[in-house]
Amino acid sequence: MPIDAAKAISAEPRSTALTWGHKDIQLYHLGIGAGIPATDPEELRYTLESRLHVLPSFATVAGGGMAVAGGMSAPGIDVDLAAVLHGGQTVELHRPIPVSGEATQTSKVAAVYDKGKAAVIVLRSDVADADGPLWTCDTRIFARGEGGFGGERGPSDRVEPPAREPDHTVERAIREDQALLYRLSGDWNPLHADPAFAEVAGFERPILHGLCSYGMVLKAVVDTVLDGDVARVRSYTTRFAGVVYPGETLRVRMWRDEGRVHVTATAVERDDAPVLTDTVVDHV
C-alpha cells in the first residue's frame, strides 16, 4: 500500500509517558564508550552518580522509546520494515536534561518527502516535564521503494564542512561488546547482536547501532571542543551515511565555526568509510 502522506501528517499526535533515572543515564553513557579510563575525573561526570551530567544524545533513548518503530505505526504509513533505514537524527535542547525525570513525549509525523525511489518520513517528538519543554527530536526514516507517490521532494540535508583541514581530529575505539551493552538502553534489534540475522541482512557481522555512533561523536565534540560542558549543546544533527562494526575505530574530524562545530565520522579500518556526515553541533 502506498504512503498516504496527507493522512500521516494530519493524524492526531500520540502521547507517551517517559521516566528515567541515574542508572539509565549511566548505562547509556557506558554504552557509548564513557568510563575509559575509569578513574579519569573527566569520565566520572558521565559515570558517577554524584557527579553526573547528561549528554544531550540521551534524549534518543530516554524512557526506552524507539522513534523509528513509532513512525512505522503511524496512520497512513504502511511500509515494508525490511526496507526501512534510519536516515538521520536531530536533537534540539530547550534546557539541560535532568538526571532523573518524568515527562510526556508527544509525537507525530511532521513531513513525508517523495525522493522518487524512496520516501523520507520525518517523525517529530516533543518532550516536556512539569517545568516546561525539555527537547525536540526529529527522526528521519528512509523507506526504500516507497517513493513515487507524488509528494514534495523536500529540502536537501547536505551540510559541507569548511574547505580546510579540521581543527581537531580524534579517534574513538569501539569495544567488541559495545553493541551488546548499548542495546540494553532499548534498541533490541538483533541486527546488532545476532551474526545469523546480520548475515541475512547483508552484513558480514553485527553492526553498531547508528545512534550509538551518534552518541560517541557528540561525546567526542563535547570533550574536545566544549570543555566537557554538556549544557553548551543547543542542537545536534546528523545523516547516517554508513555502518561501523564493533572492534573498529571511529575517526572524528571537527571544524570550529562561530557557535557551531561541523563534524564527520569515518571508520578507520575501512579506509575512512563514511559513518556520519552532514553533521553539525550548535552550541553556546
- 192 classed as catalytic: yes
φ/ψ of 64, rounded to 5, equals 75, 15
Catalytic residue among 24, 126, 138, 187: 187
114 is catalytic: no
Catalytic residue (choose from 29, 114, 192, 223): 192
Q: How far apart are CA 19 and CA 221, in angstroms?
A: 27
Interatomic CA distance for residues 198 and 177, integer angstroms = 16
Alpha-carbon gap, residue 136 to 260, rounded angstroms: 19
Within the chain, where are the H helices?
Answer: 5-10, 22-31, 41-47, 67-72, 178-182, 195-200, 210-225
Q: Would you state the torsion angle of the CA atoms of residues 220, 226, 228, 232, taken in this order, to the nearest 10 degrees?
A: -110
* Rounded alpha-carbon distances, angstroms, from residue 30 to 81, 148, 198, 234: 29, 42, 24, 23
Which residues lie below 8 Å from residue 3, measured CB to CB, with a gap of 6+?
Answer: 76, 77, 78, 79, 112, 119, 121, 143, 146, 149, 151
Active-site residue list: 187, 192
